[in-house]
Amino acid sequence: MSTASPVKSTAVSAEGVWKAYGSGEAQVIALRDVSVQFASGAFTAIMGPSGSGKSTLMHCLAGLDTTDRGAVHIGDTPVTGLSDKALTKLRRDKIGFIFQQFNLLPTLTAEENITLPAAIAGAKADPDWLKRIIHTLDLTDRLTHKPTELSGGQQQRVACARALATRPDVVFADEPTGNLDTRSGAEVLRFLRTSVDDFGQTIVMVTHDPGAAAYADRVVFLADGQIVEDMADPTADKVIDKMKHFEELVAAAQGENA
């Protein structure tokens, strides 16, 4: 009997991606030749100092921003070069988003917020799947509430259910615990972990918090628009230790780019 673990496929990849903002003297290079792959069924955190390119990378991976050079794929689908219409469809069908500010529609109930993306896509989310995630997120008693009637933690759990409702190929989470207290943040992070372990989802999360990154399988560190470190099986202590050496990593990256 083979004991080898199954080879994971790639959910998202970037190949030689460059991205600059502005031009001439004012030009800022946000991503410099970034190549990275994110395995399906894995939870990856992206960390790095402010301005290192984390949001730009996530936006380019998710087709929310264009790249100047290089290629991005979601599964086998090339993101670079798609028409606006095809990009909208790709985001709707294959990608879930969780934002720091929750981004729920205030006039809709929790349930309507959760099912809206599938409804817009003209699809009905699988009722058994929805029930399962709503139960796992402990939202069963909150479905008729509007966002203003929910705590921040509950709102973010609704946003998690919304992101997963269509069983997307990848969920991008941008500082999902940035607006939450420690306890509510931990509930969201435990859910993201569960969604990977029990439901086979793929999560890519930008965070500043070493404690949040410790929930991931892997941490990719960016500095000055480049990947400077790729850490497997992170712990908060390992991440903190790495961040202490960040100034050296940034100086080295800037030295190479000088």
Query: Is residue 3 at the binding interface for ligand ATP, with CB under 6 A as the rule?
Result: no
Piece in contact with ligand ATP (CB under 6 A), picked from 21-29, 37-45, 76-84, 178-186? 21-29
User: Of 51 and 75, which CB lies nearer to ligand ATP in the complex structure?
Assistant: 51
Q: How many whole angstroms separate alpha carbon 219 and alpha carbon 239?
A: 8
Task: Name which position in 6, 22, 24, 127 contacts ligand ATP (CB under 6 A).
Answer: 22
Query: Is residue 28 at the binding interface for ligand ATP, with CB under 6 A as the rule?
Result: yes
Query: Is residue 74 at the binding interface for ligand ATP, with CB under 6 A as the rule?
Result: no
CB of 21 to ligand ATP, least distance (A): 3
CB of 107 to ligand ATP, least distance (A): 29
Q: What is the DSSP string of 84-133?
A: HHHHHHHHHHHEEEEETT----TTS-HHHHHHHHHHHTT----HHHHHHH
Instruction: Report the relative pairing of strands 226-232 and 218-223 from DSSP bridges.
Output: antiparallel
Task: Tokens for 21, please give them.
Answer: 């903002």
What is the residue whose two structure tokens read 């970034």?
Answer: 34
User: Of 57 and 163, which CB lies nearer to ligand ATP in the complex structure?
Assistant: 57
User: Of 46 and 150, which CB lies nearer to ligand ATP in the complex structure?
Assistant: 46
Classify 2 as helix, strand or coil. coil
Residues with Cβ < 8 Å from 97, sequence gap 6 or more?
62, 103, 163, 171, 172, 173, 174
Classify 189 as helix, strand or coil. helix
Piece in contact with ligand ATP (CB under 6 A), picked from 7-15, 46-54, 132-140, 148-156? 46-54
Query: Is residue 50 at the binding interface for ligand ATP, with CB under 6 A as the rule?
Result: yes
How crowded is the C-beta side of 57, counted as CA atoms within 13 Å?
Answer: 35
Piece in contact with ligand ATP (CB under 6 A), picked from 5-13, 49-57, 66-74, 178-186? 49-57
Query: Is residue 55 at the binding interface for ligand ATP, with CB under 6 A as the rule?
Result: yes
CB of 198 to ligand ATP, least distance (A): 30
Q: How many whole angstroms separate alpha carbon 53 and alpha carbon 32?
A: 9
Query: Residue type at 32?
Result: R
> Which DSSP state fits 149?
G
Task: Name which position in 48, 63, 147, 168 contacts ligand ATP (CB under 6 A).
Answer: 48
CB of 3 to ligand ATP, least distance (A): 40
Query: Is residue 51 at the binding interface for ligand ATP, with CB under 6 A as the rule?
Result: yes
User: Of 32 and 142, which CB lies nearer to ligand ATP in the complex structure?
Assistant: 32
Query: Is residue 54 at the binding interface for ligand ATP, with CB under 6 A as the rule?
Result: yes
b/e sequence 152-162, b meaning 16+ C-beta within 10 Å: bbbbbbbbbbb
Contacts to ligand ATP by CB under 6 A: 21-22, 28, 30, 48, 50-56
